Amino acid sequence: MLKYIWTELRLMLKTVTPAQAIAHELIHAEHDLLRAETGVEYAQSMVTYNKNRVKRLKAYLGKTEEIV
């Protein structure tokens, strides 16, 4: 973490070429993409989990209504 902060500080304090600025921005864009993809995977898992949960609860409710 400290290495990352040090690298960021060095980049802010020195003049960078356009190619270096683009490479730096690309790294950040790739990290943002990975975070977004992780969020999508998590959200899809939650949708699947809740669909299965609703199906299970409806089946359970149907069984209890048949008994009554």
Two tokens, residue 40: 């999508």
Backbone angles phi, psi at 39, to 5 degrees: -60, -40
Whole-model pTM: value is 0.63
How many CA atoms lie less than 13 Å away from 19 in the CB half-sphere? 0
Question: For residues 52 and 55, what is the distance between their CA atoms, to the nearest angstrom?
Answer: 5
The residue assigned the tokens 């790739």 is 30
pLDDT tens across the length of the chain (68 residues)? 778 888 888 877 888 789 988 998 999 999 999 999 999 999 999 999 999 999 999 999 988 887 76
